[in-house]
Amino acid sequence: MPLHTRSTTPVENCEICHGDRFIQVGSKDREGLALRTVICEDCGLVFSDPRPNSQEIDDFYRESYRVAYKQAWQPRLQHTYRAGKVAEERLNYLMPLLAPGRAICDFGSGGGELVFILRELGYDASGIEPNTGYAEYSRDILGIPVQIGGFASARVGQDSLDLVTLFHVAEHLEHPVHALHTIAGWLRKGGRLLVEVPNVESRCIWPSSRFHQAHLYNFNPATLAQAGRRAGLSVVDSFASSDGGNIMCVFEKPELPDEAAPAPLPGNAARVLEVLRRHTVLSHSLTQHPYRRPVQKLLRRREEAAAVRNATDGKTLLQTIAREIGARGMRAAQSVPESMLSSGGGGLAGV
């Protein structure tokens, strides 16, 4: 059963600022099904209201999510190749943060592609994935250390990790601030947390495709950064992909974590509302995005078909990608500044 058709509970307070003044900004999801989406007037966080209860969310991601959106219990070859190429792009800005001996965890690791490639390159990487089918594929087929479950049940030692990545995960979490706080406890002092999410201010998608039943939250740079601060993390950098579709915050665990109190973000709600108001079907039709994206998708599908035509399994596909990365010596990664990219830099891989 789709997540948004289950029993739901009204939201009483905003996750970030604890405000209770909401304005409806959407009534349907990208499939045209009922989904009430609101914005907090005090901080600009956009979220689903009402939303499913905790048990229903856990059940959905453990059993149904991948089947609903990939039509597969475990990754097919084209899924593995596609995710492996995305992992390759992400390494361009991960590599400046990595060094031999550093412990890395990819939370929401999917089919395990990023973890596998990192381990092939010699790094101490592991994963955590709530979906049973994809986590079992990671462990049984790829042979990598992946825990099945969410952040609350994860067996991770306090102050044990140097780097944690959350790629397109935070928007799915029932309480992202609490999750980030828990994950911050896994990090050593000075450890980094990379969080990438879709950008609610994006103009590269059709207006009717903005809201997603499985995305309980829709962040912009200000609300994502504030979520990390509320969890006791410092913001090192924040930037968007070249097309504006995704945003990333790089957080650091300070020597003395100080959780920010719930507080409004003056002017942010007005900013988001103006973006939503101005992004119409007409305005979108007058940009390159609706015409460029189908061509890019077609070319990507052709590349994937060629890559998997003679492949026998996903592990071999990923080993080939890892060898290509090693052969290049990660020259692209070495060109990224040690400061983890300048503000406004591009390069995030859209998923």
Distance between CA atoms of residues 262 and 284, nearest Å: 35
Convert 84-105 to b/e letters by CB count within 10 Å (16 or more is b).
bbbbbebbbbbbbbbeeebbbb
Asked if residue 306 has pLDDT above 60, the reply is yes
The two three-digit tokens of residue 32, written as one number = 């045209």
Cα–Cα nearest to 104, from 89, 91, 85, 86: 91
Phi, psi of 48 (to 5 degrees): -80, 135
Instruction: Go through the domains of the chain in sequence order and give each one's CATH number.
Output: 74-258+287-334 (3.40.50.150)
Asked if residue 85 has pLDDT above 50, the reply is yes
Name the percent of the chain lying above pLDDT 90.
69
Asked if residue 312 has pLDDT above 60, the reply is yes
Distance between CA atoms of residues 303 and 310, nearest Å: 13
H-assigned helices in the chain:
54-59, 65-70, 77-94, 113-120, 132-140, 176-186, 221-230, 268-278, 281-285, 289-308, 314-328, 331-334
Confidence of residue 348 (pLDDT cuts 50, 70, 90): very low
Segment 26-62, tens digit of pLDDT: 999 999 999 999 999 999 999 999 999 888 888 888 8
- The per-residue pLDDT for 229 is 97
Distance between CA atoms of residues 173 and 52, nearest Å: 11
To 10 degrees, the CA torsion angle through 94, 159, 238, 351? 50
Asked if residue 7 has pLDDT above 80, the reply is no
Phi, psi of 125 (to 5 degrees): -115, 145
Asked if residue 336 has pLDDT above 70, the reply is no
Asked if residue 333 has pLDDT above 50, the reply is no
Confidence of residue 93 (pLDDT cuts 50, 70, 90): confident
- Cβ-in-10-Å burial (0-12, 13-18, 19+) of 39 comes to buried
Segment 265-298, tens digit of pLDDT: 999 999 999 999 999 999 999 999 999 888 988 9
The separation between CA 315 and the C-alpha centre of its own chain, rounded to angstroms, equals 23
Is 0.85 topped by the overall pTM? yes
